[in-house]
Structure 1
Amino acid sequence: MTATPALPAGLTAGLDIGGTKVLAALLDDDGHVVESLRVPTVRGPDGVVASAARAVHDVAAAAGVTLADLDGVGLGVPGLVDPRDGTVTHAVNLGVEGARFPLADRLSSALGGLPVATENDLNVAALGAAHLLGAGRAGRADHAGHADLAFLALGTGLAAGVVLDGRLRRGASGAAGEIGHIPVDPGGPVCACGQRGCVELYASGSALSARWPARHGRPAPAELFEAAAAGDLRAVEIKAEFAAAVASAVRILALTLDVQHVVLGGGVSALGEPLLVAVRAALEQQSRTSPFLSSLRLADRVSLAPADVPVAAVGAALVGRRKVS
């Protein structure tokens, strides 16, 4: 008679809920990813709950377990998230607007009462990155690492999730890490936030696409970097200016928080190594005339988010353990 394999202990599901897809990861008690997958996102409050519930069911089934085997579920959601009561507001990309939406309670009900915890999507990405880097982690993965780390998301906008000494830094109003709205050029264009010359206007995916629109049906960042590699002088110029702007965002994080790691994520990070090389080169260039900046070795602190692991879903699973403060 064949023995039934023992189930991994302490299973927790984590979901990174975006406007088009839900990325799900199942973590065991040692912090290892047991299973991961993605499902489409259905917009609107009811659609988001249904999509999230499907993702939890599917990732559990793919691992050969049931909901009864899970200790909890964590969610990473864009918009304003109150982790204390699991409500979400202004998640425009998900079609969740207006009054506070009790996402955690609604999903818990859909999952038969399974505990559900919510957190902002950038915050869970920072937690996941700290966990995967393992910087200073003391044993069990539910400590989420004791790293000082910022996850810099280069997407439609620009913002960072921040982990200091293993703890999320949300800020007094939840705005910690919103460095995209730090003005760097008072005479620059008007930002959506109402200020002028914000970092986001120069170092985001939207900013790059505005200067180099996609022409061949591929993401604008990829087309730009390929054109620059082929010797297109205009592309070389735009690439260098974009890399310098991202380096400025890294410098802001390093000089205000002195984080040990700045992890580049978001849609633009799909460029991979060419992006990392360009940003590190820009940081080296900016440090050449400053012994102070040179002493901080900023280029050595920058890395890419892993392309083969759903970083934010991993961080969400840590939140689902309800041991993240």
Structure 2
Amino acid sequence: MKVGLDVGGTKAEAVVVNGDGGIIARVRLATGWGGEEIVRTVVAAVHAVAADAGAGLDAISSVGIGIPGQVDPGTGRVSHAVNLGVDELDLAAEVAPALGVTVRVENDVKAAAVGAYALRGTAHGLDLRHGSMAYLNLGTGVAAGIVVDGEVWRGAHGTAGEVGHVSVDPAGPLCRCGQHGCVEALAGGGAVAQRWGRPGRFPVLDVFDAADAGDETARELRAGIARGVAAAVRILVLTADVDVVVLGGGLTALGDRLLADVTAELVASAEASPFMRSLRLEERVELLPPGSPAAALGAAIIGAAHDPRPEEALTHG
């Protein structure tokens, strides 16, 4: 059995994947703050999900961890995971002795890209050894992971897919990176909430509801979200020519309300260009099914990559 974890700012989700590639157990625990607590959370989550699967640690062949921040996949070191209180943490080295299994660590968006690729392949009966997909994560920030023929495409320096800080409107809102009009400044949940400036548990949902009620500020923000996401889709298709862009992350809880806005923006922006219309971008965008454990599943697949049969693990993912 293989274990995968998605470690987020508030919760850690763990899954157990059996030899046939099926998820047979899934648990969530609150995430601790700081390096020591992250290690404790990961170890506790592995024990909990193994128990939920009715197995001991001796039945687990590998552990994969998806986590925010910069990750050196060759060593398992994590840096700049600011939302977790981690500056530098050798996560694999800290966790492996406590579990007695091989541990691999990957950036959470890249792990989610692998998981989304596997889930989509299973749902559509695709050969996962061939094809391409971009996973666009729409959360507090915006980032993407690209999978080609079942493998994460990292680029020369590991930044392939970092579309959040591509400026698409030099006259647009100021981004936290210092540029104006970045994709993230338009479509990131944190930036939208800051510009909305009104209290609420789910500011982006409030923006959509207020826009439907005719609030002009909300309508501008909502239109900006569609422009930002559509721009990211165009960037991913025009640079990597992926088959499909799958939208995931917290903003996708809006479901078809978000997807309809994005596809309408893609159609409108391509109206004057026969070339852009020929790409049919509106047909190459999908939503990750709600509740899908994409990052945890992807982490399990990545963690099992040392297995002599990694292709089988991916194909059944």
Give your verdict on TM over 0.5. yes
Task: Decide whether the 8 Å contact of 2:186 with 2:227 is kept in 1.
Answer: no
Equivalence for 2:184: 200
TM-score (norm 2): 0.91
Equivalence for 2:160: 176
Question: Is 1:110 matched with 2:98?
Answer: yes
Find 1:47's aligned residue among 37, 45, 58.
Answer: 37
Give the aligned CA root-mean-square deviation in angstroms. 1.9
Q: 1:302 to 1:43 in 2, by over 3 A?
A: same
Question: Is 1:209 matched with 2:185?
Answer: no
Aligned length: 306
Question: Is 1:123 matched with 2:110?
Answer: yes
Alpha-carbon displacement from aligned partner over 1:112-143 (angstroms, at most 9, x marks no partner): x11111111110010000000006743xxxxx
* Separation of aligned partners in 1, 2:52 and 2:241: 41
Deviation of 1:169 after TM superposition, in Å, equals 1.0
What are the within-5 Å matches in structure 2 for residues 1-325 of structure 1?
A: 11-98=1-88, 101-111=89-99, 113-134=100-121, 137-138=126-127, 146-215=130-199, 217-322=200-305
Q: 1:279 to 1:188 in 2, by over 3 A?
A: closer
Task: Decide whether the 8 Å contact of 2:168 with 2:231 is kept in 1.
Answer: no
Deviation of 1:27 after TM superposition, in Å, equals 1.1
* Separation of aligned partners in 2, 1:106 and 1:176: 28
Letter of the 2:141 counterpart = G
Equivalence for 2:315: none
Deviation of 1:243 after TM superposition, in Å, equals 0.8
Task: Decide whether the 8 Å contact of 1:44 with 1:94 is kept in 2.
Answer: yes
Task: Decide whether the 8 Å contact of 1:146 with 1:167 is kept in 2.
Answer: no
- Taking only the aligned residue pairs, the percentage that are identical comes to 49
Task: Decide whether the 8 Å contact of 2:246 with 2:287 is kept in 1.
Answer: yes
- Unpaired stretches in structure 1, ≥5 consecutive residues: 1-10, 139-143
Letter of the 2:103 counterpart = V
Deviation of 1:214 after TM superposition, in Å, equals 4.2
* Separation of aligned partners in 2, 1:200 and 1:41: 25
* Separation of aligned partners in 2, 1:185 and 1:55: 43
Deviation of 1:265 after TM superposition, in Å, equals 1.3
Deviation of 1:210 after TM superposition, in Å, equals 2.5
> 2:87 aligns to what SS in structure 1?
coil
Alpha-carbon displacement from aligned partner over 1:4-62 (angstroms, at most 9, x marks no partner): xxxxxxx1110001111101111122322111121011111111111001111111111
* Separation of aligned partners in 2, 1:230 and 1:193: 33
Deviation of 1:232 after TM superposition, in Å, equals 3.2
Deviation of 1:242 after TM superposition, in Å, equals 1.7
Deviation of 1:237 after TM superposition, in Å, equals 3.2
- Unpaired stretches in structure 2, ≥5 consecutive residues: 312-317
> 1:89 aligns to what SS in structure 2?
strand
Deviation of 1:84 after TM superposition, in Å, equals 0.9
Equivalence for 1:6: none
- Single out whichever of 166-175 and 180-189 deviates more from structure 2: 180-189
Q: 1:274 to 1:24 in 2, by over 3 A?
A: same
Letter of the 2:300 counterpart = A
Alpha-carbon displacement from aligned partner over 1:161-203 (angstroms, at most 9, x marks no partner): 1112221011222211111111223344543333333222112
